[in-house]
Amino acid sequence: MTASPVRPGPVYLAVLVIATCGLVYELVAGALASYLLGDTVTQFSLVIGMYLTAMGAGAWLSKFVERGVARRFVEAEIAVAFLGGFSAPILSFAFLSPRWFHPVFYGLVFATGTLVGLEIPLLLRLLRTSVAFKDLVAQVLTFDYLGAFAASILFPLVFVPRLGLFRTSLFFGLLNIVVAFATIRIFRHEIGPPGGLVAKAALVGVLLLAGFAGADRLSDIAEEQQYADEVLFAKSSPYQRVVLTRNKAGFQLFLNGHLQFSSVDEYRYHEALVHPAFGVVPGARRVAVLGGGDGLAVREVLRYPSVDEITLVDLDPMVTRLARENPLFVSLNEGSLLSPKVTIVNDDAMKWLEKGTDLYDLVFVDFPDPSSFSVGKLYTRHFYGRLKRRLAPDGAFAVQATSPLFARKSFWIIDRTIEASGFETRPYHAAVPSFGEWGYVLAAPRAFEIPARLTPGLRFLSDETLAAMFSFGPDMARLEAPVNRLHDQVLVRTYESEWRKFD
Amino acid sequence: MKSSRREAIAALVGLPALSAFLGACRRNQVGAPFGGVIAGADVLRGHRIRTGELLSRPVARRESVGAAILGAGISGLSAAWTLARAGFTDFRIYELEDAPGGNARSGENAVSPFPWGAHYVPVPLYGNPALELLLSEVGALTGRTPDGEPEWAEEMLCAEPEERLWFRGLWYEGLYPRAGASRQDREELSRFEREMLRFAAIRDGKGRRAFAIPRRRSSDDAEWTVLDRISMREWLTRSGFSGARLFWFAEYATRDDFGSSLDDTSAWAGIHYFASRLRGVSPDGPFEEPASFLTWPEGNGRLVKRLVQAAGGRIVCGAVVFDVVPKAEGATLRWLDVPRNEVVEVTARHVVYALPRYTAAKVLAPWREDPPAFLRSFEYAPWLVANLTLSGRPADRGFPLCWDNVLYDSRGLGYVVATHQGDRGHGPTVLTYYLVFAGEEPRKAREKLLSATWRELADAVLADLSRAHPDLPALVTNVDVFLWGHAMARPHPGFVWHPDRTALEQPVGRIRFAHADASGLPLFEEAQDAGVRAAEAILAEEGERFTSLLG
């Protein structure tokens, strides 16, 4: 195919654009590296060095392009659009994996640099026959450097503040696509039938546009991938991320990504939490439920006519509102939180215990697992000490205490901590398929017997199986465990290391 | 508002870290989305002592008192507390500022009480009767185990997580920069810890520790005090340490406790920081955890509150004492009553001089004429403390928010979180940020500080913290800045054990020196001990019956 003369003006414009894009990708990589890894000087130096080296490699590689120069140029352009355009999202997702970040980062910088390095030599060759060599070099390099200048000014002052880093890189990817289309048109005589090229360019263009439109949703997408099922509700309260999902079997509540219950088997969990304690304090009148804003433990408590006052203390109004208003919740908790016996207090349980002085016959402690220090404090000797002050002398309380199988030591730390706070304890366990083997601690500020009889009509618990719940097989048996304290939250550390093995 | 725009940008970017960069780009354009003031010691009041202008003012009224205590910092308040405990109530405390507390002063706003200075006390590991008594009075010491070990109130011991470090773009637990540390670095750290344990385990011929709190209980054998003559940097180098991480870690300690760099800190004082907080059971035994901290939302302001209560209304604030003259039967002193703008003359049988020592060259009559040469060796590091009120918690990357949060590449010391004890992890809070001008000539640093505007200081604080918390500017509702021109005397090489300095601890007639300056180490325990000692000497001389609190 013979090269036919082209008007150089639009091509110079293309040079300006691709030079701007090229430098923007370099700046995106440098900015991300310095803010993710710190040590700005090193990161920027490394990025610039690697990028320039890669551009040199690209320039060298250009000599291996023998024929179809225009076609190769367009292909390089599409590839740059893709790699450069998605560089910010790719790098920030890669950062989530410490193992992959560095290879991905340097690989991406080098690949983008190589492609950008290919661009100018190929363009020079395309214009060779249309423009005198001295003018060609002067013009192309002028626009190349002008583009770099434009990028260096616009990137920090206009694009990043207005668009953010994600959209900036996606936007410049789109500009590369525009150049690709323009080149296809300008060099249509050399390229011949452009069908495949147009399709590729259009595909990358659409992807970039979609990314651009959905930049805000990128984090949401990442979140939804965690859940296998349909997401019914997903909102952030000031305290946590609240997500409700549904599948064929029923619906599930997640707080900060941790499953709180599944409607399929939550009755096992909640019956086990509530009923054994009623065997210790049969005529309980005043009951407090700490945590458990879903109203499911309260539902079980309401089975006892002797109870005439229930105080539910849950930090997050979003959860208690869901439990009162969402039809799925209301049907599952049988409208427990709408009962006139129930008072809802949205407060920190520790603060609530410290503030009041009135006593309770039974307290149910249903907090999320101790996976963070701020929840871990609700499993300390200090917490149980405060709880003791709010418990009637002949009262008792029950605590959900994570899995004695998956987090055996954590479970026994909780038991030991309660004991060290001046209680007799009776640890027990039950199988909840959604969670696995689950543990509880029943405690009272005096000696007491394991309950022998339960209220009739339960779905899961029975008098016959009750005694078995209080005995632990060898793989869950008691371990020597330290006391968990506010200033030495050994539970959070143990819990994290134990569950890491299973996650 | 700019702040919401920044927030929007940060959200757009999806990477909060980037807005630090934006913040830096646009710092000059930012308006004033938050309020605040410069609080702090009244420079003008102190200045009136320096010029000597008050000496010629006529006396408007006269009073007499058994014991005049100058300064309502920890030392002066502890002297009063000791006197009051023994039933000796014929005393008065004269304080230049409008509030008592000295370096342990605190404030409070709608969100939380917060410290303006000292904010913790390590639990005494090897007995300190005065401190233990005070701590039991505030409910921190709740009882003793059968084998006599003190039991501390769990809610006052610094709750976990305690400390974290911003290092290379992430928060890490602890203050030693562990991330990416080489094997050699880790070996150095463990050798350093072993050395400190060895120092902690030393007992001299009289059974004294080499490094004790309070300092006077330490061995004065030259074998150890010779370490006071070299700098901490020199000691580290001589001991074969070379890693940048260990030097940073050691210097963080000297900056944090003394406001001094490794070069400005005597090796004895630098080692004291670590070794005095270990039991030192055995030099070859297992590594020991350093003493836990007791802390409160208002910092040591909690202890001030108790001491002020014990002083029972005998504190006169706005009292600028400018002249103290020793007499055969005590001393006379003159002070300016700031609210009434009149000079009062006091005849006192005893004086407790619980002011920073540098003031004595202007206040103590015999020293005005002929100041002891060593007074010039007292160097005071200036500090900046800022309390930032936040509408919510900054986003985090890495280890979660701790009590103490330190930035590696910063001249600041980081910040403590006022709401940390019993924190729920959400909602408004107050961060107390500390900046000390270590390694700088104090006078220049002081001038720089005092000439800056509130806006400049607040922006500097935000710029420092925004590197770790890009979303901070959007959360800040108020920044109050407190300038401490002469926060504490630096234990520079040759300071703590210099015979001329220890000679300055001796009373001048019946004027007894208290203040942490009297011990050479700027610590709560030293201030308290000095105050208690001065008061017990008075009680002994007055023939009062009392049980000594000096261990």
Q: Is the pLDDT of residue B7 over 70?
A: no
- Beta bridge partners of residue A290, listed in sequence order: A313, A365
- Any B CB within 8 A of A350 CB: yes
Measured between alpha carbons, how far is B123 from B289 in angstroms, rounded to an integer?
12
Task: Enumerate the residues of chain A whose CB falls inside 8 A of the CB of residue B11.
Answer: 216
- What integer is the mean pLDDT of A39-55? 82
- Residue B451, SS3? helix
- What integer is the mean pLDDT of B148-167? 93
Measured between alpha carbons, how far is B4 from B8 in angstroms, rounded to an integer?
6
CB pairs under 8 A between A and B: 108
β B315-317/B91-95 pair status: parallel
- What's the token pair of residue A35? 């803010």
- What's the token pair of residue B81? 């507390």
pLDDT band of B426, cuts 50, 70, 90: confident
- Any A CB within 8 A of B244 CB: no
Cα B523 to Cα A19, B272, B384, B491: the distances in Å are 60, 11, 18, 11
If one compares B443 and B298, the residue with the highest pLDDT of the two is B298
- Any B CB within 8 A of A46 CB: no
Domain boundaries, chain A: 8-219, 224-255, 262-500
From the candidates B9, B27, B154, which should be mutated to test the interface with A, based on the most A CB atoms within 10 A?
B154
If one compares A499 and B216, the residue with the highest pLDDT of the two is B216
Q: Is the pLDDT of residue A502 over 90?
A: no
Measured between alpha carbons, how far is B237 from B257 in angstroms, rounded to an integer?
21
What phi and psi values does residue A312 have, to the nearest 5 degrees? -105, 120
Task: Enumerate the residues of chain A whose CB falls inside 8 A of the CB of residue B426.
Answer: 238-239
Q: Which residue of the set A294, A348, A361, A366 is catalytic? A: A366
Measured between alpha carbons, how far is A278 from A301 in angstroms, rounded to an integer?
9
B22 closest CA partner among B478, B467, B389, B476: B467
* A167, A382, A492 member nearest B155 (Cβ): A382
Per-residue confidence (pLDDT) for residue A237, from 0 to 100: 82
- Any B CB within 8 A of A373 CB: yes
- What integer is the mean pLDDT of B397-418? 93
Per-residue confidence (pLDDT) for residue A228, from 0 to 100: 58
* The domain made up of A262-500 is a member of CATH 3.40.1410.10: no
Tell me how long chain A is. Answer: 503
Ramachandran assignment for B67, one of left (phi > 0), alpha (psi -120 to 50 degrees), beta (any other): beta
β A342-345/A309-313 pair status: parallel
Range picked from A314-318, B19-23, B36-40, B445-449 for highest mean pLDDT: A314-318
Measured between alpha carbons, how far is A119 from A16 in angstroms, rounded to an integer?
12
B415 closest CA partner among B430, B400, B394, B395: B430
* A37, A238, A381 member nearest B426 (Cβ): A238
Domain boundaries, chain B: 2-33+380-489, 43-106+301-376+492-542, 176-291
* B26, B157, B424 member nearest A315 (Cβ): B424
Q: Is the pLDDT of residue B17 over 50?
A: no
B310 closest CA partner among B143, B134, B156: B134
Q: Residues with Cβ < 8 Å from B466, sequence gap 6 or more?
A: B19, B20, B23, B24, B472, B473
Distance from CA of A219 to the nearest CA of B (A): 8
Q: Give the residue from chain A lying closest to B397, CA to CA.
A: A36
Q: Is the pLDDT of residue B247 over 50?
A: yes
Distance from CA of A192 to the nearest CA of B (A): 41
pLDDT band of B220, cuts 50, 70, 90: very high
B42-60 pLDDT, tens digit each: 778 888 888 889 999 999 9
Q: Residues with Cβ < 8 Å from A12, sequence gap 6 or more?
A: A139, A140, A143
- Residue A343, SS3? strand
Q: Give the residue from chain A lying closest to B294, CA to CA.
A: A487
B470-517 pLDDT, tens digit each: 889 889 999 999 999 888 899 999 999 999 988 888 999 999 999 998
- What's the token pair of residue B11? 């959200």
Q: Which amino acid belongs to residue A291?
A: G
- C-alpha dihedral (A222, A225, A230, A231), degrees to nearest 10: -30
pLDDT band of B235, cuts 50, 70, 90: very high
- What integer is the mean pLDDT of A449-463? 92
Q: Residues with Cβ < 8 Å from B119, sequence gap 6 or more?
A: B295, B299, B300, B416, B432
- What integer is the mean pLDDT of A120-131? 86
Residue for token pair 């980062």: A105
- Any B CB within 8 A of A35 CB: yes
CB contact (8 A) between residue B160 and residue A492: yes
Per-residue confidence (pLDDT) for residue A39, from 0 to 100: 55
Q: Which amino acid belongs to residue A464?
A: E
Per-residue confidence (pLDDT) for residue B294, from 0 to 100: 97
CB contact (8 A) between residue A374 and residue B424: yes
Per-residue confidence (pLDDT) for residue B13, from 0 to 100: 26
- What integer is the mean pLDDT of B384-393? 94
Per-residue confidence (pLDDT) for residue A96, from 0 to 100: 57
Q: Residues with Cβ < 8 Å from A158, sequence gap 6 or more?
A: none
With beta carbons less than 8 A apart as the criterion, state whether B456 and B477 touch.
no
Per-residue confidence (pLDDT) for residue A217, from 0 to 100: 66
- What integer is the mean pLDDT of A192-206? 88
Residue for token pair 């504490």: B488
Measured between alpha carbons, how far is B275 from B277 in angstroms, rounded to an integer?
5
CB contact (8 A) between residue A38 and residue B422: no
Per-residue confidence (pLDDT) for residue B8, from 0 to 100: 32
Q: pTM for this one?
A: 0.74
ipTM of model: 0.73
- What integer is the mean pLDDT of A81-104? 78
Angle at A58 between CA A53 and CA A64, to 5 degrees: 140
H or E, element range at B375? none
Measured between alpha carbons, how far is A46 from A44 in angstroms, rounded to an integer?
5
Q: Is the pLDDT of residue A163 over 50?
A: yes
The yes-or-no answer on residue A369 being catalytic is no
pLDDT band of B32, cuts 50, 70, 90: very low
Q: Is the pLDDT of residue A2 over 50?
A: no
H or E, element range at B513? strand B511-513
Per-residue confidence (pLDDT) for residue B470, from 0 to 100: 86
From the candidates B3, B6, B7, B18, which should be mutated to test the interface with A, based on the most A CB atoms within 10 A?
B18
CB contact (8 A) between residue A37 and residue B169: yes
Measured between alpha carbons, how far is A276 from A284 in angstroms, rounded to an integer?
13
CA A224 to the chain's CA centroid = 9
Q: Which CATH superfamily is domain B2-33+380-489 in?
A: Protoporphyrinogen oxidase, mitochondrial; domain 2 (3.90.660.20)
Residue for token pair 């371990």: A479
- What's the token pair of residue B541? 């001389």
Q: Residues with Cβ < 8 Å from A359, sequence gap 6 or more?
A: A286, A390, A391, A392, A395
Q: Is the pLDDT of residue B9 over 50?
A: no
pLDDT band of A97, cuts 50, 70, 90: low
CB contact (8 A) between residue A238 and residue B427: yes
- Any A CB within 8 A of B422 CB: yes
CB contact (8 A) between residue A238 and residue B423: no
**Reported CATH class of domain B43-106+301-376+492-542:** alpha beta
Q: What is the CB-side half-sphere exposure of residue A81 using CA atoms within 13 A?
A: 28
- Any B CB within 8 A of A486 CB: yes
Considering only A125-129, B261-265, B361-365, which range has the smallest mean pLDDT? Answer: A125-129
H or E, element range at B381? strand B380-390
- Beta bridge partners of residue A430, listed in sequence order: A438
Per-residue confidence (pLDDT) for residue B363, from 0 to 100: 96
Task: Enumerate the residues of chain A whose CB falls inside 8 A of the CB of residue B158.
Answer: 487
Q: Give the residue from chain A lying closest to B18, CA to CA.
A: A35
H or E, element range at A454? none
User: A8-37 and B18-26 helices cross at what angle (nearest 10)?
Assistant: 110
With beta carbons less than 8 A apart as the criterion, state whether A25 and A137 touch.
no
B331 closest CA partner among B352, B361, B308, B351: B351
B407 closest CA partner among B114, B245, B175: B175
If one compares A4 and A488, the residue with the highest pLDDT of the two is A488
CB contact (8 A) between residue B154 and residue A385: yes
Question: B479: which DSSP letter?
Answer: E
pLDDT band of A241, cuts 50, 70, 90: confident
If one compares B70 and B505, the residue with the highest pLDDT of the two is B70
Q: Give the residue from chain B lying closest to A382, CA to CA.
A: B154
pLDDT band of A36, cuts 50, 70, 90: low
- Any B CB within 8 A of A388 CB: no
Q: Residues with Cβ < 8 Å from A474, sequence gap 6 or more?
A: none
Per-residue confidence (pLDDT) for residue B25, from 0 to 100: 40
- What integer is the mean pLDDT of B348-375? 94
Ramachandran assignment for B4, one of left (phi > 0), alpha (psi -120 to 50 degrees), beta (any other): alpha
Q: Which of residues 391-410 of B touch A (CB under 8 A)?
A: 392, 400, 409
Task: Enumerate the residues of chain B whose CB falls inside 8 A of the CB of residue A156.
Answer: 21, 25
Residue for token pair 């696995």: A436
Question: Which spans in A62-132 are helix H?
Answer: 69-85, 87-94, 98-127
- What integer is the mean pLDDT of A290-318? 96
Tell me how long chain B is. Answer: 551
Query: SS in 3 state form for A16-71?
Result: HHHHHHHHHHHHHHHHHHHHHHCCHHHHHHHHHHHHHHHHHHHHHHHHHCCCCHHH
Reading across the β-sheet that carries B380-390, which strands appear in turn? Answer: B38-40, B476-489, B380-390, B429-436, B412-417, B404-407, B163-167, B170-173
- What integer is the mean pLDDT of B175-198? 93
Residue for token pair 């008792």: A396
B122-148 b/e (C-beta count within 10 Å ≥ 16 → b): bbbbeebebbbebbeebebbeeeeeee
Q: Is the pLDDT of residue B19 over 50?
A: no
CB contact (8 A) between residue B25 and residue A39: no
With beta carbons less than 8 A apart as the criterion, state whether B206 and A74 touch.
no
Beta strands in B45-157 (DSSP E): 59-70, 91-95, 106-108, 113-115, 120-122, 141-144, 150-152
Beta strands in B81-237 (DSSP E): 91-95, 106-108, 113-115, 120-122, 141-144, 150-152, 163-167, 170-173
- Any B CB within 8 A of A216 CB: yes
**Alpha-carbon torsion (A12, A15, A17, A23), positive or negative:** negative
Measured between alpha carbons, how far is A442 from A427 in angstroms, rounded to an integer?
6
* The domain made up of A8-219 is a member of CATH 1.20.1250: yes
Measured between alpha carbons, how far is A467 from A230 in angstroms, rounded to an integer?
39
Per-residue confidence (pLDDT) for residue B495, from 0 to 100: 94
- What integer is the mean pLDDT of B67-91? 97
Q: Which of residues 105-124 of A touch B (CB under 8 A)?
A: none
Is residue A327 reached through a cis peptide bond, with omega within 30 degrees of 0 on the bond before it?
no
- Beta bridge partners of residue B431, listed in sequence order: B388, B417
Average model confidence (pLDDT) for chain A? 88
Considering only B38-52, B293-307, B354-368, B387-401, which range has the smallest mean pLDDT? Answer: B38-52
Kindly state the percentage of chain A with pLDDT values over 90.
Answer: 56
Task: Enumerate the residues of chain A whose CB falls inside 8 A of the CB of residue B400.
Answer: 372-374
